[in-house]
Structure 1
Amino acid sequence: MPTRVRLIAVVATAVAAVVLAGCSSAVAARPVAADGSAVAAPAARSKPQVVAIGDSIAFGKGVRPDQAWPALVAAQHGWALTDLAVSGSGFVKPGWNGDTYRDQVATALGLHPDYILIAATRNDRTQDPALVASSADELLGELHDTFPRARIIGITTVWGADAPPATVATVNGIVERAVTGVGGTFLDIGYPLAGRPELVQADGIHPNAAGERAVAKVIEDRLAPLGVTS
């Protein structure tokens, strides 16, 4: 073979070896994390999603976010929680930022919840019952129509250590009718903080961390016979 031809052959062989080596390196150098992420994504999406609609007690005013009762209930069931609760808000009563439950529901409608937690609230006790009923019926209807397969779980008002006024029972009845009217589950949790000032913060309204746990426990006790699982 002439020298020039042999030289070309040697160069071609060398180039081919480099190319093959480069391909091999590219495969070996694929980040392990990339494979892990690709596998983890479906698992994350399959985790049940829950949204909480409520007031300062559902928000967890005065405690850590993970100590609020919606977070405790979600953790118990392995749900991924989006807590939309706003301090001071109700179906009619605007919260500290001007939002009512209407605004929380509007945000929820852009999510994909498997469970919806919605709390009756002391904040509506001084509002016109007819307006509270109208709002509750409308918002629960929207939630059910948008998420017909989601399980809607309502709870009664969380009160402090003192005796609640009669208007709280009125609000509870309104929300119960709205929740059950769309096939949801309504839990009467009573007043787990009644007569127990050690479970309430200094303001006499908001449960402390132990109080939030007490509320979550009663909710769990009511959910257990209903077969609500993770």
Structure 2
Amino acid sequence: MKTKKPFYKRWWFIVVAVILGLSIIGEMFDDGSTETASTKKVASTNSEAAKPEANSKEKQEKSSQEKPKEESKKPEIKKPKEAPKSFDDTVKDTVIKELGTKANTGKKRLVQEGSSDIDGGKSVVVTMAGDELFTTKSTLRQMETNSAKLFEKLFKDKKVARVTLVWRQTLVDTYGKESDDNVLKIELTRATANKIEWKNFNAENFEQVADNSWVHPAMLKK
């Protein structure tokens, strides 16, 4: 006697059940993957949105750190250029450099200095206090020696055409009164100065070679 198979043992039922099971499983996986992808998108969006904020904060911090440095920089103050020295100032500097600011008597070395324009250049006149030595003769020789030093230096300036050196000493008259008087004057032109070999020159010879010279009688006493 043939019996009818239960419906759950028939082949078509099995096929339908398998198909339904597979579709249910597929939907479960699709939902999970979709959910994961959306989660990743949200996370990436949040991280990208956070980056500009972080960058802006860093820029603000850097700018706040750099501002004090810029504010601390003080503007550079340029020193004014020194005006070039005048011709007379150069002459004065030469006298002081060669003979000092004071004579051995304590008096100021440079009494007076002046210059004027002449044909061929500058005419210079310098009046100075002389050193005092033990004798009148040695005092005179010292002034002549210092004159040679000064002539050599002053004529190195090509603008100088003539130099007159005047020396002063303290003299005592017959009444015992003291006064500072001119006691020696020597004048040289450039033409004469160019003939002198200064390193071998004997300063006592100014009387013979100078364009103009004069000695106070008091300096010639023995």
Which has the larger share of strand? 2
Q: What TM-score do you get using the length of structure 1 for normalisation?
A: 0.36
- Bigger Cα Rg: 2
Please report the TM-score for the alignment, with normalisation by the length of structure 2.
0.37
